[in-house]
Chains A and B, each alone.
Chain A
Amino acid sequence: MNLLPLTIHLSFAGAFLALVAGSRSAAAARWIALLSALAGWGVTLWAAVHFDPGAGYASLLNLPWIESLGIRFHLAADGISLTLVVLTGLAAVAGILFSWNVQEDTGAFFALYLALIGGVYGVFLSADAFLFFVFYEIAIVPKYFLIARWGSTNREYGAMKLALYSFAGSGMVLAGLLWVYGAAGGTGFGFGELALAATRLTHHEQLIIFALLFVGFAILAGLFPFHTWAPTGHVAAPTAASMLLAGVVMKLGAYGCLRVAMPLVPAGLTYFQPAIAWLAVIGIVYAGLVALVQEDFKFVIGYSSVSHMGFVLLGLAAGTPQAAAGAVLQMFSHGVIAGLLFAVVGRMVYERTHTRRLDELRRLPLHRLMPFTAVVFVVAGLASMGMPGFSGFPAELSILIGTWPVSKLWTLGAALGVLVAAAFTLRVIQVVFFSRTDDAVTVADHPLPPLTWPERIGAGLLLAATVVVGLNPALLLNWIIPGLTSPGLQAIWTGGTP
């Protein structure tokens, strides 16, 4: 376990090296990026093998940082963090494999990419709210540059919209944190200290703080109606960035809700639960419906991400450990599946056909031009619509099981979302891959570059992850559940009353 901080060092070191090497050789930058991402993932897997679920929220590194303000460089991890860093490692490796062909400023690209990954690792491992916030910001900045520099459609607009939304959320989070910090007498930013300080505030103040923190974080998780940055951002982003955006960055928001907002002010969840849950349910169905009529392939996947993140938010808002366990599992599952879907859309299809418009794609016999891609997308689509055998099924099932005793209506709404997901997924599968079926068009008419090995390996890794977790969700749930029921998060389930 206490090797986990290495993931952060490896990522930033990799970023630096890639930048230096990139000025001489693009290939060197690529390999440095891949190796450091692999090393990071390896560390997380090593930690997973040696994980002790009974250890609780275990400190990994605890050094004084800005002593005058009581800020510490404190890293810790439990099963929830572990699940998410394993996901981060996997997403990082897969993203690099799908960016193997980046030609412009390769060094800078991978440097920003790895800096983003380092920030994400940092967020998932921080046990000091200030440190958490710093890493959170570190993760946002490279994202802006990745989109604005290497993106496509409307990239400045998409990048700016995304950055502004993120900063708006961050601003709210910072305000909330400082408020509690001030109330604590400015002694420190440890999660435990802040939670204790928050209990000394009035109920009204607690509610305001909760709203600031939760909404601030949930913006990044795609909470309706603050979700519109997500589809435009995804569409504008280069493939690897949209994979990371959907795969891990949206999880930062959800993780912030779970690790910071909810345990800090448990009373807030009790008070705002109906509002949050309804927004989540609306988001699930609404984004699904919007996805149903999109004419841009990537917008469909972008909105499907919002819909699936609605499940995460519902799982958190339900306020039961079962639903929250499902939410964390869904974070992992969606990270893998959305990454795969974006890889297919952005890298495997768009970079070969140079169009994402459904009415143009339907004129190509894609199932014959790229059979492997078609199979990958069909399987990923099945996973995305919650088919048993893939990770989305146990995740959504757990969320529904945990939500049912709280509200049957929310459960019904979310279950309707599953139906809508099937509808829009089948629609794009058929339109994109299986529309043009006459034999008049042959493969020779549309010479497309063949699939490369990095793409195959990346797709294989992600598919394997969703199937393994789908068949044996206990693998992750055995880490997640002890984390959720540990003393630090216990207050969430009791609404603050011990």
Chain B
Amino acid sequence: MRLPVEYLWLIPALPLAAAGVGSLTPRGGRALAADVAIAAMAGAFVLACLALTSALADPAAHQVANFAWFDLGGGALRLGWLLDPLTAFMAVMVTFVGLLIFIFSLGYMKEDPNFTRFFCFLSLFAAAMLGLIVANSLLLLFVCWELVGLASYLLIGFWFHKPSAAAAAKKAFITTRIGDLGLLLGMLWLYDASGSLLFYDGGAGVLEAPVLSTLAGQTLAGGLALSTAIGLLIFCGAIGKSGQFPLHVWLPDAMEGPTPVSALIHAATMVAAGVFLIARVYPLMSADLPLDVPMHALTVVAFVGAITALMGALIAVAQNDIKRVLAYSTVSQLGYMMLALGVGSWTAAIFHLLTHAFFKALLFLGAGSVIHAAHHEQDIRNLGGLAPRMKVTFATFAIGMMALAGVPFLFSGFWSKEAILHAAHGWDVSQVPFYVGLAAVVLTAFYMTRLVAETFLGRPRSDAAAHAHESPAVMTVPLGLLAAGAVVLGFLGTPACPWLQSRLAGTPLHSDLGHLFEGGGLMLLSIVLVGAGLGLGWWLYGRRLRAASTDRDPLAVAAPRTLGVLAGKFYLDELYAATVGRLNAALAWCADRLDRHVIGGAVEFLGKFGLFSGALNRELDEDAINAGFDRVNAGLRGSGIRYSRAQTGEPQGYLRVLAVAFVVLALLLIVGGVR
């Protein structure tokens, strides 16, 4: 069975309907809300699988179904659905991981009074995310992009009784919207330049050759190609959404949301949307440019990705909150994916995106299981000794950790990371991203070893940890399934049989077992580096386990200042607060004062001026023009009274002069030639 592209909208529509049902379900209808949400997600998963079979029938094709949204006179704004292997793989991943996280939430959110609202928001998120994936129009993608941001806002702030959660939600929304501003402008420019926002439209879409060659052929001031400028603006959106430097600051704070939310939105799916976006518009990003063009959009992508990968990994080393370690690890891994996009291998980026979705969701749910068992204790210094108490959680967490660290051969992260390093090594612009990638390999293995050792090994360092016991099956079964995925998925894209990459790119598959160790030297190098990271982590944290939560971190003993900078996250939050935050507050303050005093003051002045001239008029009328003999008698006294009457503010007086003043002002503007 296959799913024709005309019915692709059903995939996001199912969770959307579930969100609708959930919003109307009263608080008491817990089972109903959860059942509907999970059933809808399961249905969406089945449909996504059907869509995958349709897409794989002809992987090189882009099947589309377009329709007009509204007409602005100069041509309709059109939206549409797109089915190709990229869409289909993403949809399968999102629905499958989403389904498992929904099920996990049954256990994790069991005690929460707002259980039905939680499932309503989760379904809303899933609908928007799936809409983003099936969109065949940058506009529709942008619409869904904003809606996932909204769902993310609602879910980060789900426990809004914590002020930190409310603040984090706002920060996430505003920070990502700064990036979205770029995406919006890129979209406007693209529409202006090409007259369409459809990706594929039988030759007229913006990702198809005729439009691309026009865009790449136009150069702007500074020698930038138009396609590069638009690509960079679109990339701004990806920077915001995917937590890339310098807009990554919202992502770790987003951990204030419930852990299933962190797993679904801030690890597996939404934050990867930026990577997906760049992969989607890859033909635009990589359009052939004339030779003399100075900069290529992808070069920027590669370096931003490299900086992010390294910075995220460095900060992760010094975090003590189990979720924050994972959050910075996500930042770092997203940087890896961007790096892969930048150096020219979008298929490697998507491969890593898919494997990362599984093992990072697994790690987050594992962390959730720990937090759930340890009564919301998230500080790894206060955990410890959980391995014997939570065997399934420990085993699956360890699998996730090895996949993330890139332990060779058996784990998916190894193969996808290898693909990225291979691509970075072959990049002809610069080797810097490659070396950065290698450094991040060591760091990743290191901080993950630290995380596992501190959390699971040794003796419990708090009552909460001592009394922890394994989570119920509704939580551990999803862990097991994700762990299976974290292993198996790697075999879809090994160098011997790069099935996933060839399906994504729509090229024929060449499988040859001899290629398994292709680039053997490189593979050996990265294995050695992983070993070094693991070993170093073990040496510092595993060999002599922390005995009490107050013990100093071995790194803090060895290099206190370095660790201080890392623990302070390079002080970027403080920097932004001192610059952008201050500037914004100052501007707002100035605008307010200007409104109250300068503009308000000018109006007051005009009013006073009105009173004054009203009095003057009266004098002229009555005292000068009607100068009668009685004036001689009562003049002084009378005018005194009249003055005081004028002060009561008769509207006519105001009015006449205001009108005159405005006319004079307008005349001045015209004569002065306002330009």
Contact = CB atoms under 8 A, between A and B. Distances in A.
Contacts of B591: 286, 289-290, 293
Interface string A196-227: 00000000100110011001100000000100
Contact of B192 (A172, A215, A404, A430): A404
9 contacts: A160-B654, A164-B654, A168-B658, A211-B670, A272-B674, A325-B72, A393-B143, A400-B184, A422-B173
A164 B655 contact: yes
A474 interface: yes
Given A321-B74, A382-B150, A419-B178, A404 B170 contact: no
Interface-centre pick from B166, B173, B595, B674 (highest chain A CB count, 10 A): B595
Secondary structure of the A contact surface, majority rule: helix
Contacts of A274: 674-675
A415 B184 contact: yes
Interface stretch (B276-284, B347-355, B659-667): B659-667
Nearest to A225: B599
Contacts of A292: 584, 588
B670 A215 contact: no
B70 A394 contact: yes
A172 B72 contact: no
B185 A401 contact: no
Interface string B638-667: 000000000001010011001100110011
Interface in A151-192: 160-161, 163-165, 167-169, 171-172, 175
A478 B69 CA distance: 12
Interface string B578-598: 000000110111011011000
A228 B185 contact: no
Contacts of A389: 143, 147
Interface in B553-602: 584-585, 587-589, 591-592, 594-595, 599-600
B35 interface: no
Given A172-B666, A212-B663, A412 B185 contact: yes
A164 B599 CA distance: 15
A495 interface: no
Contact of A419 (B150, B181, B589): B181
A254 B447 CA distance: 60
Given A416-B181, A474-B71, A208 B603 contact: no
A275 B394 CA distance: 66
Nearest to A170: B659
Given A208-B667, A404-B188, A168 B655 contact: yes
A461 to B, nearest CB: 19
A400 B663 contact: no
Nearest to B184: A415
Contacts of B144: 388
Contacts of B173: 422, 426
Contact of B72 (A165, A415, A427, A481): A481
B608 to A, nearest CB: 13
B146 A430 contact: no
Nearest to B145: A388
Interface-centre pick from B188, B192, B607, B675 (highest chain A CB count, 10 A): B188
B595 A419 contact: no
A484 interface: yes
Given A294-B592, A478-B71, A289 B170 contact: no
Given A290-B592, A325-B72, A477-B71, A404 B189 contact: yes
Interface of B: 68-74, 142-144, 146-147, 150, 157, 160-161, 166, 170, 173-174, 177-178, 181, 184-185, 188-189, 191-192, 584-585, 587-589, 591-592, 594-595, 599-600, 603, 607, 649, 651, 654-655, 658-659, 662-663, 666-667, 669-670, 674-675
Interface string A406-439: 0010011001101100110011001000100110
B651 A160 contact: yes
A393 B585 CA distance: 27
Interface-centre pick from A212, A388, A415, A477 (highest chain B CB count, 10 A): A388
A472 B181 CA distance: 24
Interface in A380-411: 382, 387-389, 393-394, 398, 400-402, 404-405, 408, 411
Given A164-B654, A167-B659, 8 more contacts: A168-B655, A211-B666, A215-B662, A216-B662, A275-B675, A382-B150, A418-B181, A419-B178
Contacts of A485: 73
A42 interface: no
Nearest to B140: A388
Interface string A462-475: 00000000001110
A373 interface: no
Secondary structure of the B contact surface, majority rule: helix
A44 interface: no
B168 to A, nearest CB: 12
B654 to A, nearest CB: 5
Interface-centre pick from B144, B166, B599, B659 (highest chain A CB count, 10 A): B659
Nearest to A476: B70
A322 interface: yes
Interface-centre pick from B70, B72, B173, B603 (highest chain A CB count, 10 A): B72
Nearest to A164: B654
A325 B74 CA distance: 11
Contacts of A416: 181
Contact of A437 (B160, B659, B666, B667): B160
Nearest to A326: B72
Contact of B70 (A161, A171, A477): A477
A272 B674 CA distance: 7
Contact of A473 (B70, B143, B178, B588): B70
A215 B669 CA distance: 11
Contacts of A165: 658
B132 to A, nearest CB: 12
A172 B174 contact: no
Nearest to A278: B674
A322 B73 contact: yes
A426 B170 contact: yes
A401 B188 CA distance: 6
B666 A289 contact: no
A469 to B, nearest CB: 10
B161 A293 contact: no
Interface-centre pick from B189, B584, B587 (highest chain A CB count, 10 A): B587
B174 A419 contact: yes
A160 B73 CA distance: 42
A171 B588 contact: no
A412 B69 CA distance: 24
A65 B74 CA distance: 40
Contacts of A481: 71-73
B430 to A, nearest CB: 31
Contacts of B73: 321-322, 325, 481, 484-485
B116 to A, nearest CB: 13
A405 B69 CA distance: 21
Contact of A322 (B74, B177, B178, B181): B74
A477 B70 CA distance: 7
A164 B650 CA distance: 11
Contact of B651 (A163, A172, A478): A163
Contacts of B607: 164
The 6 closest A-B pairs by CB, nearest first: A171-B659, A437-B161, A388-B143, A474-B70, A289-B591, A168-B658
B234 to A, nearest CB: 14
Contacts of B170: 426-427, 430
A100 B466 CA distance: 61
Contacts of B184: 400, 415, 418
Interface string A311-350: 0000000000110011000000000000000000000000
